[in-house]
A = this chain, B = another copy of it.
C-alpha cells in the first residue's frame, strides 16, 4: 500500500462527497502516513510546519475528520486528554496494549477478536463500522523497575 494509492483513495472519497481536493488535505494525509505510529493533531501540525508546509491547525483538524470518515485513518484515545491518529494502511485492524506506567503502546491483532466483534454486531443487529479495543496494564520493565 503506497502513498499514491492512499492519496488516490482519499481523492475519490472527497470527490464522491462533493468536497474539494486541496493540496493541504493531501499533505495532511501524506504527513500522517510518513509518521511512524500514532500522532496527535497538535504534533502533526507542528511537524508539518517544521517541514515548511504551510497549513493551519484548523485545516489539520478538518482534514483528520474527513480522513476518519473516509476510513483511511484510525483514532485512538489513550490515557491523555487528546486523540491519537494513525493511518489504516494495510486496512489491517489492530488494537492497543498500553502501559499505565510508562505509556508504551504495543499493537496487537487477533483473528478471534475480529470474529467476536462481528458476532456481537450480528447479535444486536448492528452494521459494523469500526472498533477500538484498548487494554491497559503494566509492562514488564515497569513492574520490575519499581
* Chain A interfacial positions (CB closer than 8 Å to B): 77, 97, 99-100, 106, 108, 110, 112-113, 116-117, 120-121, 123-140, 143
Contacts and interface: CB of A to CB of B under 8 A. Distances in A.
B135 A126 contact: yes
26 contacts: A97-B120, A97-B126, A100-B129, A106-B124, A108-B120, A110-B116, A112-B116, A124-B139, A125-B140, A126-B135, A126-B137, A126-B140, A127-B143, A128-B135, A128-B136, A129-B136, A129-B138, A130-B135, A131-B133, A131-B134, A131-B136, A132-B132, A132-B134, A132-B136, A133-B133, A133-B134
A99 B116 CA distance: 17
A39 to B, nearest CB: 18
B110 A125 contact: no
A117 B135 contact: yes
Contacts of A125: 139-140
A143 to B, nearest CB: 6
Contact of A113 (B116, B121, B127): B116
A134 to B, nearest CB: 5
Given A113-B116, A116-B110, A136 B140 contact: no
Contacts of A126: 97, 99, 106, 135, 137-140
